[in-house]
Amino acid sequence: MSAESSSSSGDGDVHPPPSKRARRDYNDTLKVLVGGEGDSEEFTIHTASVCTRSSFFKAACSKEWIEARERIVRLPEADSEAFEVFVHWIYTEKLDFSTMTEPGNVNYSPSHLNLGKVWALAHYLGCTELRNLVIDEFLNKWARLDSHVHPSSLKRIWEMTPPGSTIRQLLLDYTVNRKRREEEPSGAEGFPAEIVSEAARRWMFISKEGARRLVPTLEDRCNYHEHGEGEPRSSYNETITVLVGPEEEKFIVHKSTACDNSPFFEAACSQHWVEGQEKVVRLPDTTPKLFAAFLHWAYSRELKLDDEPDGRGGNYPRTFDLGSLWGLANYLQTPALRNKVIDRLLQKFDAMPLSPVPRAALAHIWEVSPPESTIRRLLVDVHIARLSAEKFDQHRDEWPQELIMAAARHYFAIKKSPMTIKCPTFEERCKYHEHEHESGESCQVHVKREPA
């Protein structure tokens, strides 16, 4: 297949697909009393916001519960600081442990016990997504600090969580696999019995089989996540081979990463295609450099291409390369990466306000992009704003027909009603994005949160 002949398969960011949410009612609120009698803390939260996140609150707000009639929910066993983390999360989708951070902790890293408290609250409130995020926070913490979990914290967490839970499994694997065997006799006291017995079992197996003990890392997080019925379980154990370019340079890629980011790979990896059965996908019409850039973005959400100086102390990828990456993202059906390329182009245009788009880059981008695409629309607007009449006439036979027609439309518009043509800026990037929402809802507020 050729990247030039491919077109977008529809709007939408495919990693991860944002769920559509109904418009929330911010007039209906609920009072929540957290803590014991005489020592409770009061929270006021929007009913719609909390009910979409918590099966407990959804039930509590039904007509069958007295809490729904009183508009008051009591959580006498809950920790108020953990509940504040929960409230912050339901509104922002971000975890903020600043209220639970111990004095002197300059890294604002929550303790193992406080993470356990939030997980236990999420379990009680029926929030699978929040429990999975807490699991990730444990793994992030261990990636930053190789710290052991104190036996007293483990004991408390065991008291707050049910047998067989993901948090117990994670802490068991981390503690047992991290702890050296020679430490066991003097260190077993104080640990939950489940950890002590599992440590003994694993050490016996290691002695007999010579197996390695692996401490859980962030890449293993899916093994400790809870998944909804029918929800695919991402795996970093299964890989596919991608052969890129005419020379078929080999890339080994996690199947879940490729499929989560590209409907093209999702289809290619199905059993209906021979590629899915052989676990080999060929991309003969792109280059290893471009595919490496796609993979870097898929794993890190960072756009990385070879940079060139902008003359003002900054560095940006060549417009030609950015256009090529947009073409690959179009072929792989990845709107989120196409939007990222648009952002990078606008940042470059902002930094180099007097530079027109090189003719070779313009011609190449027209080859790898379909008519009416966002990248074509952006370059037409930039070119018309920056190109002088003299320069336009000098190279008029080299410009794409779409650009010439747009210039003519602008000319007649100006002749009819004089106006100033302004070059698009990074602040206006949303105009050139592809949006997931059918309504065409602006993404500006969301994009501002993400560094380009």
Full-model pTM: 0.47
Max mean pLDDT range (198-202, 374-378, 379-383) = 374-378
280 and 314 belong to one structural domain: no
Percent of the chain exceeding pLDDT 90 equals 18
**Mean pLDDT, to the nearest integer, of 73-79?**
89
Confidence of residue 452 (pLDDT cuts 50, 70, 90): very low
Exposure b/e, 147-160, CB count within 10 A at least 16 = b: eebebebbebbbeb
Shared-domain flag, residues 178 and 310: no
| Domain enclosing residue 148, as ranges | 111-224
The rounded mean pLDDT for the chain is: 75
3-class SS of residue 89: helix
Q: Write the CB contacts of 132 (distance below 8 Å, at least 6 apart in sequence).
A: 221, 225, 226
Residue 210 lies in a domain: yes
If one counts the domains in the chain, the total is 3
Does residue 213 share a domain with residue 162?
Answer: yes
pLDDT digits (tens, 9 = 90+) for 415-432: 445 445 677 788 888 888
Give the whole-angstrom CA distance, residue 202 versus residue 214: 12
Q: Are residues 321 and 422 in the same domain?
A: yes
Both tokens of 111, joined, read 């303790």
Same domain, 275 and 357: no
Strands 239-244 and 280-283: parallel
Does 298 map to a domain?
Answer: no
Six-digit token pair at 189? Answer: 């006291």
Instruction: Quote the CA–CA distance of 276 and 289 in Å, as a whole number.
Output: 24
Q: How far apart are CA 196 and CA 363, in angstroms?
A: 67
The number of helices, as runs of H, and strands, as runs of E, in the chain is 21, 8
Most confident of 165-174, 203-212, 399-408: 165-174
Residue 135: pLDDT band with limits 50, 70, 90: very high
pLDDT at 63: 67
For residues 317 and 426, membership in a common domain is answered with yes
Q: Which of 208-217, 294-303, 319-328 has the lowest mean pLDDT?
A: 208-217
Are both 220 and 248 inside the same structural domain?
no
For residues 399 and 216, which has the higher predicted lDDT (pLDDT)?
216
Contact 207, 233 (CB under 8 A): no
Of 283, 329, 289, whose CA–CA distance to 305 is shortest?
289
**Does 438 score more than 60 pLDDT?**
no
Closest CA relative to residue 84, chosen from 114, 123, 39, 52: 114
Lowest mean pLDDT among 23-37, 271-285, 372-386, 394-408: 394-408
Same domain as 412, residue 334: yes
- What is the average per-residue pLDDT within 388-393? 58
Six-digit token pair at 170? 């994670």
| Reported confidence tier of residue 230, pLDDT bands at 50, 70, 90 | very low
Both tokens assigned to 307: 């940079």
Mean pLDDT value of segment 46-61: 86
